[in-house]
Amino acid sequence: MPSAGKKIRVIIADDSALMRKVLKDALESDGSIEVIGEARNGIEAVNLTLSLNPDVVIMDVVMPRMDGITAIKEIMAKKPTPILVFSSITQEGSKAALDALEAGALEVIAKPGGLPTVKNLGDLAKELIRKVKILATIGTVKLTARLMLKRLRKPQRTATLLVPKKKEIPLAVPAPVVAFIASSTGGPQTLMRIVPKISSSIPAATLIVQHMPPLFTKSLAERLDRASQIKVVEASEDNTVLTGYGYVAPGGYHMLVKLKRGKPVIELDKGPKVHGVRPAADVTMKSIVKVWGSAIVAAVLTGMGRDGAEGAVEIKKAGGYVIAQDERTSIVWGMPRAVIERGAADVVLPVDKIGDEINRVLRLKVRRCPVKWAKLQIRSI
């Protein structure tokens, strides 16, 4: 983390000279950021990171000689540094970005397609500057400590190995209770340690808001689905919220739930960004309170800012249950801290205990479900 008054030092790794210039101009339009090095491939990115000690590295995925994912693994092994992935908005690009996040990168930003315009360059600059400033607050010390904890943890069978092959979800009916999960920076890795633990035997649905660009959320849903007991999909307009299913809010849309013809149905909204993001957790949380009332278990995970705090207050007022991730296991302890500071957290837990707690409280909520329209669903299960 840069000391007070010092600029945030950034390295850019991209094989395109034009893209490196676009990124440098965008970043240095903010006086608090300076680009201290440029790399044309992964080998140069690793060497520059080791020699220049940047606060943040921006990494393309597809590069000659050494790709971005391999470079990320080397950097995290030799000198843990906050890394922002810069990936194309394609199906292959989104999958590669998730591989990069699993390798140790912390954030992803979409590379603009086609010819740059004044508008998309302006939007890119704002997003780059915002995310670089977020990552610069993490620092190498916390990343190193987190990697040490991960290495010291006793080897366990992964969630993927514990989960049977995907099969048809039995008795998929409109969900009488719901789990809600919100996350941002560091979220994809954290979700992979929580969602696979959610039991498909509980008559509940799971709604997930992760701050990510369009298409990237589809790849995230597919990856969660392969590792999970529940069926995880990217949410679509007019999806009925069913038991045994998880719904990831699509990038670029707010996800709401409304009661239609006695069933909870998803609506997608292109309205203004909230807290600078779309999807925003607060939007979804406030809508589900109107549908499920106290029959909600919410978890607010790692991320910068306060998205999720207002929604957590509303869920708490309605009698729902709110979990906040603890500081030690959060990459960025902003969103969970905001929930705690508002007095909305029922419990503060490390990441490895959150999935079990969601299951425990969901079972209690099912037995005590107060939602009149949902009681009929419970009796039919």
Least confident window among 6-20, 79-93, 320-334, 341-355: 79-93
Q: Which domains does the chain have, with CATH numbers?
A: 8-150 (3.40.50.2300), 168-379 (3.40.50.180)
Structure tokens given for 122: 């302006």
Catalytic residue among 183, 307, 326, 330: 307
Beta-carbon contacts of 349 under 8 Å, excluding residues fewer than 6 positions away, are 323, 324, 325, 326, 357
> Rounded distance, CA 197 to CA 34, Å?
42
User: Does the active-site annotation cover 211?
Assistant: yes
**Percent of the chain predicted with pLDDT > 90:** 74
Contact 285, 182 (CB under 8 A): yes
Structure tokens given for 70: 């391999």
Cα separation values, 170 from 150, 163, 222, Å? 36, 16, 20
Structure tokens given for 227: 């590792």
Of 348, 277, 344, residue with least CA distance to 312: 344
Which DSSP state fits 242?
Answer: B
Beta-carbon contacts of 328 under 8 Å, excluding residues fewer than 6 positions away, are 350
User: Does the active-site annotation cover 88?
Assistant: no
Q: Please name every residue paired with 323 in a beta bridge, in sequence order, or none if there are none.
A: 299, 347
The values of phi and psi at residue 331, to 5°, are -65, -50
Tens-digit pLDDT profile for residues 220-243: 999 999 999 999 999 999 999 999
Amino acid at 84: L
The values of phi and psi at residue 164, to 5°, are -70, 165
CA dihedral of 178, 184, 186, 188, whole degrees rounded to 10: 50
Cα radius of gyration rounded to whole Å, the chain: 21
Q: What is the pTM of this model?
A: 0.89
pLDDT classification of 368: cutoffs 50, 70, 90: confident
Q: Please name every residue paired with 264 in a beta bridge, in sequence order, or none if there are none.
A: 259
pLDDT classification of 93: cutoffs 50, 70, 90: confident
User: Does the active-site annotation cover 184?
Assistant: yes
DSSP 79-91: S---EEEEEESSH
Tens-digit pLDDT profile for residues 264-292: 999 999 999 999 999 999 999 999 999 99
Q: What is the pLDDT of residue 88?
A: 80
Chain position carrying tokens 């609506």: 267
Catalytic residue among 14, 67, 183, 211: 211
Catalytic residue among 184, 219, 228, 287: 184
Q: What is the pLDDT of residue 306?
A: 96
Handedness of CA 333, 335, 340, 341 (dihedral sign): positive
Most confident of 123-137, 239-253, 364-378: 239-253
Q: What is the pLDDT of residue 372?
A: 55
Q: What is the pLDDT of residue 99?
A: 93
**Percent of the chain predicted with pLDDT > 70:** 85
